[in-house]
Structures are given as C-alpha cells and as structure tokens.
Structure 1
Amino acid sequence: MGLRISSCVIALIQRAAAEAAPLEACGLLFGSDGVERASVAANVADDPARRFEIDPAALIAALKAERAGGERVIGYWHSHPSGDATPSATDAAMAAADGKIWVIVAGEALTAWRAGASGLHGRFERVELT
C-alpha cells in the first residue's frame, strides 16, 4: 500500500530544499491517510550543511496543536543537497522506531520511508508514493 502525497506538497518540499541548498532543509508532515500538508521549519543543526534538526519550537507547537485536536504530525522531511534520496547513516542513528514517515528529497528525487526497528536502510522501510 502506497502513501498518498499531493503534487503541491512535493513542490513545496522541492522548492524549500532548492532555496536552502547547499544547506539541508527540513520540516514537518501532516495528514491522516496520507501526506496532506507539509511545513518548512528552521534547520537548527550545528552543521546544517551535513545534518538537519527541526527547530524544537516548531515541533513542540505542532505536537501541542495535535493534542488539542489539530492536524496530526505523521512525519518529517529533509533534503540531501549533495547526496541521494535514501536515508543516511546519520538519519538511521537519529530515527526513533516510531512508525513516522520520513520524506527525503535530493534534487528532483523524492522518496518516503517509515521509521521502524529494522529495514533495508538501517531503521527505515521504503514506502511507495502515490
């Protein structure tokens, strides 16, 4: 079963990634049966050219809103400006085995992954996009 994601969400993620390059861009994914919306968050990593860290204030605000009946946070997205759209070793080390979706963009390539205990790419299983 694939993950629904709209072309508008894909365009927003690709545009944000291109604008941030050569730094990594990142943000949150919202939805229920698929990715219905994405937001762009500040990358507050100590080395944003090689890593990403979603601004904790943005993440906390989104989770508080979700608990109050707002949009559900289903995952995260980030870019690999000089790599490919597969999880890196750093991504695998950072990922909690919580089932959240990770979308990774590298140029025009965009892939989705579910964080879990095991998978072909460290802690991730590939999710087909529809």
Structure 2
Amino acid sequence: MAIEVTRQAADAMLARARAAHPREACGILFGSPSRIERFVTCANVHPEPEKAFEIDPQALIDAYRAARSGGPGIAGWFHSHPHGAAEPSATDRALAAPDGRIWAIAGQGRLAFFRAVEGGFETLSSALIDG
C-alpha cells in the first residue's frame, strides 16, 4: 500500500531526528490513513529518551480534542532511531496497537513508513508531494 507525504512534513521529521540526536525524537502525524499532511513535534517524556520514546500525554490529549472538534485527523506517530535503522524495533512491535495508524520512523538519515496492523507492521511505500 502507498501513502502520500508532504515534502514539508518529511523534511520536518528528518530535521527533528537530527536535532534530537542522540535522543529519540517523536511527534504526531496529521492527515488521513493514506496521506500525511502535517507533522507536529512533541516532547519525548520517556525516562530514557536515548533508548525509547513516549509522546507527551498532554500533546496527545490536545491532538485528540482538536480532531474531535473538526481539526485535522491523527494519521499516526513519528519517532527516530538515533542508533538504528528506519524500521520497527522489537520494542515498537511489542508496544504498537494494531489500530491501522501510520508509523513514520527515521534512522540512519532515512525515513520509512509502516502501518500498525494485527501481528505487527505492514511496510508502506510513500510518495513525496507538495502540499
């Protein structure tokens, strides 16, 4: 399955991953199940941000409230692997809810996209678009 990603969102994710290094960066993806229109960076509140990520709960609450009030839909989540590949880790696989959300992962200067499904992740192809 393919998704569209705005060039601005993709560039922002990679920039955030570089800026957060050696910690994991994280954030929320906005759009639809087939299109990422916007990326918003969030604080990584995990006690060990060099090894894992946890999106600031207040940012999640605010995003869900905005979506319920007619704001942009939550398409998924972003995080980086500062010392690993742009693919789901064992921790990602263990903790991801099979809710169909997109997971964007940055690692080794690359950005890749996956969908959280029953049994793990489905790899998504992506096309950069202006938007």
- Which amino acid is 1:2 matched to? A
Q: Structure 2 regions of 5+ residues with no counterpart?
A: none
Give the alignment's TM-score, normalised by structure 2: 0.93
| Counterpart residue number, 2:67 | 66
CA distance in 2, matches of 1:70, 1:6: 18
Please give the per-residue CA displacement for 1:46-91, whole angstroms capped at 9, x wherever unaligned.
1100000000000110001101111100100000000000100100
- Which amino acid is 1:34 matched to? R
Larger strand fraction of residues: 2
Q: Are 2:129 and 1:129 equivalent residues in the alignment?
A: no
Q: Structure 1 regions of 5+ residues with no counterpart?
A: none
- DSSP-derived class of the 1:110 partner: strand
- DSSP-derived class of the 1:45 partner: coil
Please give the per-residue CA displacement for 1:4-30, whole angstroms capped at 9, x wherever unaligned.
001111110011110000000000000
| Counterpart residue number, 2:110 | 109
* Structure 1 residues 67-106: aligned runs within 5 Å: 67-106=68-107
Give the alignment's TM-score, normalised by structure 1: 0.94
- DSSP-derived class of the 1:3 partner: strand
CA distance in 2, matches of 1:6, 1:68: 24
| Counterpart residue number, 1:13 | 13
Please report the RMSD computed on the Cα atoms of aligned residues, expressed in angstroms: 0.8
- DSSP-derived class of the 1:129 partner: strand
Please give the per-residue CA displacement for 1:94-127, whole angstroms capped at 9, x wherever unaligned.
1001000000001321100000112xxxx10101
% identical aligned pairs: 44
Q: Is the 8 A contact 1:79 1:106 kept in 2?
A: yes
Q: Which has the higher contact order (CA 8 A, sep 6+)?
A: 2
